[in-house]
Amino acid sequence: MTEGPDPEDLAMRKMRFLFALRSRGVTDARVLTAMEKVDRGLFVKGIFAARAYEDMPLPIACGQTISQPSVVGLMTQALNVGPRDTVLEIGTGSGYQAAILAQLARRVYTVDRWRRLTREAAALFRQLGLVNVTTITADGSFGLPDQAPFDRIIVTAAAEDPPGPLLQQLKPGGIMVLPVGQSDAVQHLIKVTRSEKGFDYEELRQVRFVPLVEGLGNE
Ligand code: SAH
């Protein structure tokens, strides 16, 4: 057992964490409350855990990253999740984003191509009593046809274009938030709103995400 950080120090770091979120544009009270409840420290392992309350992406297993908290906050805010919504997340990673969505939605399905990541995230969801999250190992580019349609879809890995199956699995009135662009270039976070007539696209900001990759990982 290693000694944890001083509790007072931890409280201070969490306060600064919330302050940083606000100052970077995360102002939705429900999103801030959800992010206050979910301890990012649980989703970051080893030497990086000490930096869990800093506003930066950090490495996780399988060569992936847990996103920067302010980006998690801005994406969650743009998704405008309601308590009756069913949400699909592509890119479970550490499970942090899904745990926040679980505070706001009725049900969350989260998909990753690495079995190791979905297994570890599912263990954390159990530990936290998040019974409304279902974790699935699959290539998320195809969505989840059996559970579709979804009120909200969030993709946390960058594709060159919004994957067709995900657009099809979005309910009319639904919102999808995702980064688009090549992995080594500037990507844009976009918000897609489906109406009865078609799709509206809004560009939110520049971001940098790991790429959406085909097929399953080997771990
Ligand atoms: N939302 C995560 C961060 C995700 S990093 C968090 O809160 O920690 C992006 C994740 O997308 C990685 O774990 C990667 O394995 C996953 N990913 C990439 N391509 C994918 C695909 N086709 N299907 C499912 N997951 C994919």
Amino acid at 25: G
Q: Is residue 67 annotated as a catalytic residue, yes or no?
A: yes
Instruction: Please report the domains of the chain, with CATH numbers, ordered by start residue.
Output: 7-207 (3.40.50.150)
Please check whether residue 139 is in contact with residue 115, taking contact to mean a CB–CB distance below 8 angstroms.
no
- Please give the distance, rounded to the nearest whole angstrom, from the Cα atom of residue 1 to the centre of ligand 1: 30
Residue with the nearest Cα to atom 4 of ligand 1? 93
Q: Which two tokens stand for residue 27?
A: 């102002």
Structure tokens at 19: 């302050």
Across 50-117, where does the E strand assignment appear?
58-59, 65-66, 86-90, 107-112
Stated as kind and residue range, the H or E segment containing 168 is helix 164-168
Q: Which one, of 78, 63, 87, lies nearest residue 157 by Cα?
A: 63
Ligand 1 site, CB within 6 A: 64-67, 90-91, 93-94, 96-97, 111-114, 117, 139-141, 156-157, 210, 212-213
- Atom number in ligand 1 closest to CA 72: 7
Q: What amino acid is encoded at 102 in this protein?
A: A
pLDDT at residue 215, rounded to an integer: 92
* pLDDT tens digits, one per residue of 22-39: 999 999 999 999 999 999
Q: Which atom of ligand 1 is nearest to the CA of 114?
A: 15
Mean pLDDT for the chain overall: 95
Query: What 3-state class would DSSP assign to 151?
Result: strand
> Quick check: 180 pLDDT over 90?
yes
Q: Which of 75, 113, 124 to mutate to test the pocket of ligand 1 (most atoms within 8 A of CB)?
A: 113
Catalytic residue among 67, 70, 94, 141: 67
Task: Give the residue carrying structure tokens 């606000």.
Answer: 22
The closest-lying atom of ligand 1 relative to the alpha carbon of residue 111 is 24
Task: Take residue 144 and report the two structure tokens written for it.
Answer: 């989840």
Chain segment 79-127, per-residue pLDDT in tens: 999 999 999 999 999 999 999 999 999 999 999 999 999 999 999 999 9
User: How far, in whole angstroms, is CA 60 from its chain's centroid?
Assistant: 14
**Residues above pLDDT 90, as percent of the chain:** 88
For residue 205, the tally of other CB atoms under 10 A from its CB is 13
| Dihedral angle sign, alpha carbons of residues 157, 122, 80, 18 | negative
